[in-house]
Amino acid sequence: MNNASGFLYYVSVAGITGLQQAAQASIDEAVARLKAGTDLPVAVGFGVRTPEQAGVIAKVADGVVVGSAIVELIAQHGGNAAGPVREYVASLSSAIKASRN
């Protein structure tokens, strides 16, 4: 991977995003295997819904991708989604920062 840039995106569950939760043991193993083979940052996504999950994943991954939960908040709150989305993202950020300290 000489001259590569960007990051690797590890899909933590098979299937449709937002319907299943990721298994942490398999994430730990996969991220370790990927990091042994590249210097690129590794981000983990699919099946990540809670701040607690994001925090645990952040202990081994360089990035955590959360999408479906945010889309659901927007669908639920429509034009008033900015506040709930901001609060949710802040809770994810806090969990990730706490896990890395």
Helix residue ranges per DSSP H, the chain: 24-37, 51-58, 68-77, 82-99
The residue extents of the domains of the chain are: 8-99
pLDDT at 14: 60
8-99 falls under which CATH superfamily? Aldolase class I (3.20.20.70)
Considering only CA atoms, give the Rg of the chain: 14
Give the integer Cα–Cα distance in Å for 52 and 10.
Answer: 19
Answer yes or no: pTM beyond 0.85: no
pLDDT digits (tens, 9 = 90+) for 34-88: 999 999 999 999 888 899 999 999 999 999 999 999 999 999 999 999 999 999 9
Residue 40 — left, alpha, or beta (φ > 0 → left; ψ -120 to 50 → alpha)?
Answer: beta
Residues with Cβ within 8 Å of residue 53, at least 6 apart in sequence: 21, 22, 24, 47
pLDDT level of residue 2 (50, 70, 90 thresholds): low
